[in-house]
Structure 1
């Protein structure tokens, strides 16, 4: 079944939830009104019917059976019989049964109470029954004839009435209650509609205000003119606008810096090319001068290519979707491969570049990350150390695995001049380079390192590799060095246990 991609109306959604219970409750209200109306209509007629049964019972009790006659019959007075038959709207039945349950007078086909009913003399009871397939209401009681004493014997007196008057009164009550509801219900729906339209008007106003904005307007939405219920949503939008404004500002600043940084090598390329061309045109160029010009052109092109590569690496590091595709990464393996790649350059600068830690085969820990980005992080740290460490210095890439399998630590330290504490936070900013250094770099390496570490929820710290001691004299260009430490969350290989300390 295809998913429903259509937009839902908030107005219609709220209206449905408000009207649906109303339309469900209305028939329930009609049914309850019907039951209540039946009870109200029955009460006065039950009292009248009960009085008739009690009057008949008193008359029966007063006419004691004659001694010696086992089956005396009771004849009602003409006035009592006329009273029972006086109702023109309904038919009234009565019945009198003797001490032994024998029929004495009245209607023979009137049903009697159930045999298991408790007999309490002179207590009036009511029940619903049928006579000749017609529903009737029956009032009955057990009568003790006068002069019988506490013998326990009773006579049954019943008076029944059809339900015509009760049904008419019930219908009148229902009409008086239900008919106004047919007017009230549409009026209630209209009022709900108008109230909901009035209540949702601020949302429409907010929508118009947002749509009327320029695409470049990222200022916060005014929260004073919105309902309290929408305020959290507007605050969330304002927070998003603020972060978007910061992101766009950072991108503009980054692009401006990148354009400025690329302009220098590109200008050098153009200047050297124009100079060589002018020398050739004037016939003053010698092979040595032409070679120097070509070397400068090559150097400027290398700087531009390096800058472009760093910018691409920065873009990859900031790509959330790209960084989210993670797999198990063998950190020692990447560290060893990076050191091998940089050995020729280290030897060219007369630097001692080495690796300390487990080899790729013996490592039992992995980190979850993007291999390409982790490799870029290590390369930038090593490249930074090679740039700032003077000839004769040492650079060490170290991997330390937690014996409890919690973290996997990468360290890159050098024996260079180090980074003053006041600048240790600034060096992670794009295009920032420490003052007093004549290093030819892009200023993006450490910014890329921090961005990749943040993408992998890793902690980056910077401190001195060899703290200074009083009276200590460093060789020319050497210093306390810098140690970059990145702590990754470790991931134990399936089926293997992390190495225990002391093992």
Structure 2
């Protein structure tokens, strides 16, 4: 179950990212629609309410004298019966009115209608609106200040207010919301369906690409056709094609390497078989002597030694190419490895009458350290020294040298010999597996320098090949120019590593 939950559907993720905003925007749309509908519903009713307040204000401003009002049987500033009936004629809502005198006293209307809390600047006949409550019921209030006719001017004005409950407004608001929101219940599922269909059609090329890749044979590493894929997927397909190309090259190189390894192993194994069959035949015929048996056993031992050396080199090559093995790095004292390697090869150098020596700081005096895999770096030094001993004639010299950068940035390893050297045209080819320089009859595996280059690459180092001696001097004294292999490692001072 954990493995299944780890997979993510691209189709589902895109669908989620497209539908999630819709689900978030829809409630916002409903809220905005309600606000807009409320504003639309208020406008006509505010206009009507304002006209009622203005009409009442005109009546208050033109109120006749008290004697005339007495003859008509009503008090000053009280609405005419027909005007009061007009205010109460609305069956859907309750309408309230109020007239306050110059000192704020109630002159006419409903006592419970509140006055404005924060009075705006008093401008005669300027109409204002506010939302308020009467008896815990929400109302919309239109109010204005009136200057009655025949009174002395001044800052004091009479307040006229008309209030109305919100029944009609709420019904109109709800009708507008229903007219806008209800169609969305049809449009939203339709939009989801269209999005799903569009995504299914858009991802179809990916499904086709998946089928084409799955239908391939395991040995088919040819590039994927980039003409039939969307532009958005082209970089991914190009990366896959690049990987296929590198994989194809790696497999071809491995096949070539295995073929060469089989060919190289065939010679010592054939020698083993031949010498064994020859010794067996001589024993069967009764013609074997201790000297002849000793010679056959010597050839068998030599052939088995060559085969063992070839197998060891193949194993070293595999270790050098193992990325995980090379990634396990630690701090390495290059001088220690160089000195130990020279000591290991001293008996072989004495057997060939070669002068093998070391130049550089002592193990305890080395001030620089490199970061690497000790086993691989030791293998690198061994292969360089082994190669130098193979190609240096008797009486020659082989020198292993460690040079420390005074600025503490680089640690250099050099292995030089007094052999025939390497021509400039072959200095790159000698690092190829199973390649041997022309004109030499050295019995080697052809893998030593290939292993060296692989280890150098694993440690992000640099390797260079040049002559030990100048070619003009070689022409004078007739000795070989020799070969010098120089490997440069990035290093850091010992004091830095200690912290």
Provide the residue aligned with 1:254 in structure 2. 257
Structure 1 gaps of 5+ residues are 498-503
Q: CA deviation at 1:19?
A: 0.8
Equivalent residue for 1:394, pick from 394, 397, 405: 397
1:144-195 deviation line (CA, Å, top 9, x unaligned): 0112243222100000111111011111101100000011111111111111
Q: CA deviation at 1:382?
A: 0.3
Whether the 8 Å CA contact 2:434–2:446 is kept in 1: the answer is yes
* Displaced runs of 4 or more, over 3 A: 2-5, 64-67, 470-475, 494-497
Q: CA deviation at 1:283?
A: 1.4
Provide the residue aligned with 1:500 in structure 2. none
1:415-464 deviation line (CA, Å, top 9, x unaligned): 11100000000000000001110100010000000000000000000000
1:230 counterpart SS class: helix
Matched, 1:27 2:30: no
Whether the 8 Å CA contact 2:464–2:487 is kept in 1: the answer is yes
Counterparts of 1:82 and 1:139 in 2: how far apart (Å)?
A: 19
Structure 2 gaps of 5+ residues are 70-74
1:372-413 deviation line (CA, Å, top 9, x unaligned): 000000000000000000011111000000011100000000
Counterparts of 2:490 and 2:341 in 1: how far apart (Å)?
A: 21
Counterparts of 1:209 and 1:320 in 2: how far apart (Å)?
A: 32
Whether the 8 Å CA contact 1:364–1:496 is kept in 2: the answer is no
Counterparts of 1:267 and 1:54 in 2: how far apart (Å)?
A: 123
Matched, 1:127 2:130: yes
Q: CA deviation at 1:341?
A: 0.5
Superposition pairs of residues 27-66 of structure 1, within 5 angstroms: 27-63=27-63
Counterparts of 1:311 and 1:346 in 2: how far apart (Å)?
A: 24
Counterparts of 1:65 and 1:300 in 2: how far apart (Å)?
A: 143
Provide the residue aligned with 2:115 in structure 1. 112
2:216 counterpart SS class: coil
Counterparts of 2:64 and 2:305 in 1: how far apart (Å)?
A: 135
Counterparts of 2:474 and 2:413 in 1: how far apart (Å)?
A: 31
1:72-104 deviation line (CA, Å, top 9, x unaligned): 721222332222122121111111111111111
Provide the residue aligned with 2:72 in structure 1. none
Provide the residue aligned with 1:11 in structure 2. 11
Equivalent residue for 1:274, pick from 262, 273, 277: 277
Counterparts of 1:98 and 1:465 in 2: how far apart (Å)?
A: 120
Provide the residue aligned with 2:489 in structure 1. 488
TM-score normalised to structure 2 length = 0.96
**What value does the CA root-mean-square deviation take over the aligned residues?**
1.7
Counterparts of 1:231 and 1:441 in 2: how far apart (Å)?
A: 48
Superposition pairs of residues 314-333 of structure 1, within 5 angstroms: 314-333=317-336
Mean Cα displacement is larger for which, 53-62 or 2-11? 2-11
Provide the residue aligned with 1:466 in structure 2. 469
Provide the residue aligned with 2:151 in structure 1. 148
Counterparts of 1:493 and 1:470 in 2: how far apart (Å)?
A: 40
Equivalent residue for 2:241, pick from 231, 238, 242: 238
Whether the 8 Å CA contact 2:63–2:76 is kept in 1: the answer is no
Whether the 8 Å CA contact 2:330–2:372 is kept in 1: the answer is yes
Higher helix share: 2
Matched, 1:188 2:191: yes
Q: CA deviation at 1:4?
A: 8.9
Provide the residue aligned with 2:139 in structure 1. 136
Mean Cα displacement is larger for which, 466-475 or 171-180? 466-475
Whether the 8 Å CA contact 1:265–1:300 is kept in 2: the answer is yes
Counterparts of 1:5 and 1:310 in 2: how far apart (Å)?
A: 46
TM-score normalised to structure 1 length = 0.95
Whether the 8 Å CA contact 1:64–1:146 is kept in 2: the answer is no
Counterparts of 1:115 and 1:306 in 2: how far apart (Å)?
A: 104
